[in-house]
Amino acid sequence: MLIIHWWEVIMAKWRRWKKVLQKMETKRILSTQVKALAENVCMSAHKTRRVIDQIRGRSYEETLMLLELMPYRASYPIFKLVYSAAANASHNKSFNEADSVISKAEVNGGTIVKRLKPRARGRSYPIKRPTCHIIIVVRDSSKKKTDQDIYLETKDQWKDPIIERYLEKEREREKKEKEREEKYGQKNKSPWFPTWWGKPKA
């Protein structure tokens, strides 16, 4: 016989609801954001970060205008990445480019490419070419999903697996008892089973 204590049911429900709420929050954030990633850009992360810090939190049109006027070499790959992120948002999620905002912009260091430069007397000097990874996240400031819409999309996830398993075992047990009654009942007696023994135990 399966025994489930009341605190196990409460803890299972609490864990399940916590996961569902986290999924709802993640889905709400992802529904209004689009990410674009550029890996192994041949540039130092320090030089790229001074450009990234200027565009974080700005609108899409203002960002493009600012990147066109900045006199840094890192402006061109960032310009292409911002344009790509806005194109992804417009094509995949039907965002309006005029309402797009750079919600997240970060630079991480990548692998360092090592080369050798030939010098006099057969010697060689090492050359280290740093690379970086650039992440741009575009958010639509006009599009916001309500909690009701997210709940309707994820309402099937609110079923508790422990309770569902317990109910399934109860249904199987009732089905077996019904089959046993039909097989060994008063009407349908087994030929080898004596009547004075009564019903067999479960």
- 57 inside domain: yes
Which CATH number belongs to the domain containing residue 119 in this structure? 3.90.470.10
- 128 inside domain: yes
Return phi, psi of residue 130, to 5°: -75, 150
Count of structural domains within the chain: 1
Q: Measured between alpha carbons, how far is 116 from 128 in angstroms, rounded to an integer?
A: 9
Torsion of CA 189, 193, 195, 196, to 10 degrees: -160
Q: Give residue 193's pLDDT.
A: 47
- 53 inside domain: yes
Residue pLDDT tens, the chain, 202 long: 455 566 677 777 777 777 777 777 677 666 778 889 999 999 999 999 999 999 988 899 999 999 999 999 999 999 999 999 999 888 888 888 888 889 889 999 999 999 999 999 999 999 999 999 999 999 887 765 555 555 555 555 555 565 566 667 778 888 888 888 887 765 444 445 455 455 555 4
- 90 inside domain: yes
Q: Give residue 187's pLDDT.
A: 47
- 92 inside domain: yes
33-41 and 100-118 beta bridge pairing: unpaired
- 26 inside domain: no
For 81, the domain range is: 34-143
- 174 inside domain: no
- 169 inside domain: no
